[in-house]
Structure 1
Amino acid sequence: MSEQLPPTEQCRSCKAPIRWARTQHGKHIPVNAEPSTSGNVLLDHIGGVLHAGVMRGNQLAAVRRTDRPLFLPHFVDCPNAGEWRKR
């Protein structure tokens, strides 16, 4: 990561600590504050913006061989995730 991660916020539903990041498509995604061994989101904090790269397949395997932490999207374990999904 180029810069230190920004402070955490609380999920408005379950109050868990999260960070908001921007995907490559410009959408915002809530990410759990702590890294996870089953994570698939690579975070980079550059120029005050937290960028989220969702890793799949070979990319994911390559990142897991490094010391870079991976994070889970908060939708995975938020008990109230369904309330926030767009229809």
Structure 2
Amino acid sequence: MKRTILCRDCRRPVLWTITEAGKRLAVDPDPDPAGNAAIWRDGTGAVRSRRPSADLPLTGWERLHMPHVATCPAHTEQLALPVGVTSLAEHRRKRRR
């Protein structure tokens, strides 16, 4: 049984995993073939995740899930800047080139 927790922003269920680097990653609880996070449960019962690659493809005990940040409506909305505020993102992009 998967233990899901509700996202603080959108109130949808998320499944928290531990990445190979030891970080926490929230994923949608249902498998998604378009996802990029391979999920499995290790021997201690912890839900683990990694990014499959050409060198290490998806194995039989892993399922693909979508990271929640990619599907969360609260994170995908672009907030409009207030009147009189200029975005520096375009300036920074030009400067990096």
- Length-normalised TM-score, structure 1: 0.71
Q: Distance in 1 between matches of 2:33 and 2:72?
A: 17
Work out the number of aligned pairs and report it: 75
Q: Is the 8 A contact 2:40 2:62 kept in 1?
A: no
Distance in 2, Cα, partners of 1:8 & 1:32: 9
| Aligned with 2:7 (options 8, 11, 33) | 11
Aligned to 1:75: 69
Do residues 30 (structure 1) and 26 (structure 2) align? yes
Q: Within the alignment, does 1:50 sit opposite 2:47 as a pair?
A: yes
Higher relative contact order (CA 8 A, sep 6+): 1
Instruction: State the Cα deviation string for residues 33-87 of structure 1 (Å, max 9, x = none).
Output: 101120111111121211101123x257x428x68421010011112237xxxxx
Identity of aligned residues (%): 27
**Would you say the 8 A contact 2:17–2:47 is kept in 1?**
yes
Structure-1 residue corresponding to 2:36: 40
Question: Bigger radius of gyration, 1 or 2?
Answer: 2
Structure 1: gaps of 5 or more residues: 83-87
TM-score in terms of structure 2 length: 0.65
| Runs of 4+ in structure 1 over 4 Å off | none
Which residue type is aligned with residue 67 of structure 2? P
**CA RMSD between the two structures:** 2.3
